[in-house]
Amino acid sequence: MLTKKVKKRVSFLSLLLISLVLAVFFILKSLTSNILYFKSPTDIQLSQDIVSKKKIRVGGMVKKDSININNEEIKFIITDLKNEIFVSYRGTVPNLFSEGKGVVAEGTLKDKSFFIADRILAKHDEKYMPPELKDLMKKNAK
Amino acid sequence: MFNLINPSRIFYWIEKLINFINSIFFVILIIALTFALILSPPDYLQGDSVRIMYVHVPSAWIGLASFTGIALFSILNFIFKIKNLNLVSKSIAPIGLLFTCLAIITGSLWGQPTWGTWWVWDARITSMVVLLIFYILFILSHKLIEQESKANKVSNLIAIIGLINIPIIRFSVDWWNTLHQPSSIKLDGTSSIHPSMLLPLMLMLLVLLLYCALILLMKYKTEIIRIKKKNIKRI
């Protein structure tokens, strides 16, 4: 079964695959900043060149007890547990937007700790459970 | 070994398998739908839109698995020139395309109530669209290229190149920040889905897999009939 032709094909194919993997790896590596759907507050703190007019997305968790709604304006804090950023937003939020849950805000930075959003997306985590169980967990936590 | 897959004998087995699947398919479908739509609880956050997951997740898995299968068959075919594998991968392709489309559409329907948007260009969703394009290229290469040996070569190459995309889809949610959530069911078998929701998920997976097997067998039969029409005695 392992004739000369077969061996030749195997080596050709493995070369092709290895070069493909390498090519894709380097392409993805150089595009990382574009592939990231959102930046974390820490990324923003660390970045040097911030163009304030450019639209970016910031993602993280909505900090507990930070949501403040008045005059149709919603203010809250996005945190990644290391750094925080204030977000101000006018408009409707998705149903799943709540404290302690993931969120992605799209808009512009005013400075490194203040963000003006014009779109809010809720990020859902990978946990699925029935409501009774959630109540039970809350009770146990108390 | 490949004598087993000789056209005259395989017909008998295909017919038998199709009949068997037909006889159990609707029973399992009804059981799975009952669990998915009625007996399983709503999610504590998403409410009833969690039920979209029971179609979305199995569809995505089947879309990925089909392409992996096609690519592996293409590699084997490229090395050992087993023509029968061409027929198999040709029969798998439309199924994979269908389920990849389903995964994208149901994902979009789920995204609207959950995320608040129909569509985002994050890594997971974009790589799924790339998979869709690879499926379309694969199928088009069979439709557009008249000469069969050439069509097989081109489609094999497309499948082998597209194989790179599969781990990218799988790990996109771990490598990059995406709006799409990480996998609930990890490779090591642990799951963050409550058992009462895992059961309908697995039942729906079984139903969709049976459906795939049905379509695959029918497609494969058609391919063999097409070859027989050309008066070729063996594959």
Mean of per-residue pLDDT scores for chain B: 90
* Residues of B whose CB is below 8 A from A55: none
Task: Please give the Cα distance from B204 to B52 (Å, whole number).
Answer: 11
Taking any CB pair shorter than 8 Å as contact, residues of chain B touching chain A are 41-46, 50, 53, 75, 78-80, 113-117, 120-123, 160-161, 163-164, 168, 176-179, 181-184, 192-194, 196-197
Task: Please give the Cα distance from A133 to A98 (Å, whole number).
Answer: 19
Task: Indicate whether B12 pLDDT > 60.
Answer: yes
| Whole-Å CA distances, A54 to A103, A106, B192 | 20, 11, 37
pTM for the structure as a whole: 0.89
Give the contacts of B189 (CB within 8 A, at least 6 positions apart): none
Distance (Å) from the alpha carbon of B53 to chain A's nearest alpha carbon: 10
Task: Please give the Cα distance from B209 to B37 (Å, whole number).
Answer: 19
Looking at the DSSP bridge assignments, the partners of residue A44 are: none
Distance (Å) from the alpha carbon of A23 to chain B's nearest alpha carbon: 10
Distance (Å) from the alpha carbon of B73 to chain A's nearest alpha carbon: 13
Task: Please give the Cα distance from A135 to A128 (Å, whole number).
Answer: 14
| B177:A39 CB<8 A | yes
Residue A142: the pLDDT is 59
Q: Does A134 touch chain B (CB under 8 A)?
A: yes
Q: In the predicted model, what is the mean pLDDT of residues B183-196? A: 85
| Interface test mutation site (partner B, options A2, A92, A101, A128, max chain B beta carbons within 10 A) | A128
Low-confidence ranges of chain A (pLDDT < 50): none
Task: Indicate whether B171 pLDDT > 80.
Answer: yes
Query: In the structure, what pLDDT confidence band is assigned to residue B26 with cuts at 50, 70 and 90?
Result: very high
Distance of CA A14 to the CA centre of its chain: 35
Of B50, B115, B181, the CB nearest to A94: B115
Looking at the DSSP bridge assignments, the partners of residue B70 are: none
Number of H helices, E strands in chain A: 4, 6
> Each residue of B111-146: pLDDT tens digit?
999 898 899 998 999 999 999 999 999 999 999 998
Distance (Å) from the alpha carbon of B228 to chain A's nearest alpha carbon: 28
SS3 label, residue A62: strand
